[in-house]
Amino acid sequence: MEPLYVKADELLAWSEAFSPTVEPRTVETISGICHALDGNTRTDNVLTAPAIGQWRMEKMAEARSLAERVLASAPSGRSAKHLAEELLARLGASPQAIAPPPATPPEAPHAVE
């Protein structure tokens, strides 16, 4: 994991989340990626990955909590909120009842240094 290679880290997190099998080590890897990126770039696009991992391991409360955090966070972009809404829908929650997303301006492209 290297926080200066944001796209590679995001790809790794999502690859782990959708790997053929998900186990606690997988979610730990994804969480480590999120922590490495935190403070160095926007993390909303990768924060839904551990929620997907938790869901795939049938840890519904953890998956719901992470998805709700993404939805409730004002800085989360449309893509992240959409993924969180989809996950909550699969978990049986009404995303609109949790936190209706505020109108957000178009997302600016991420600067890569």
pLDDT tens, position by position, 75-92: 888 888 999 999 999 988
Annotated domain spans of the chain: 6-94
Q: Are 82 and 69 in contact (CB under 8 A)?
A: no
Give the model's pLDDT for residue 1: 58
Mean pLDDT of the chain: 79
Tokens of 82: 């959409």
**What CA–CA distance (Å, rounded) separates 69 from 109?**
23
Give the 3-state secondary structure of residue 94.
coil
**What CA–CA distance (Å, rounded) separates 78 from 21?**
28
pLDDT tens, position by position, 65-74: 999 988 888 8
Give the model's pLDDT for residue 110: 52
Residue 41 has pLDDT above 70, yes or no: yes
Give the model's pLDDT for residue 107: 54
Structure pTM? 0.72
CA atoms within 13 Å, Cβ hemisphere of 94: 3
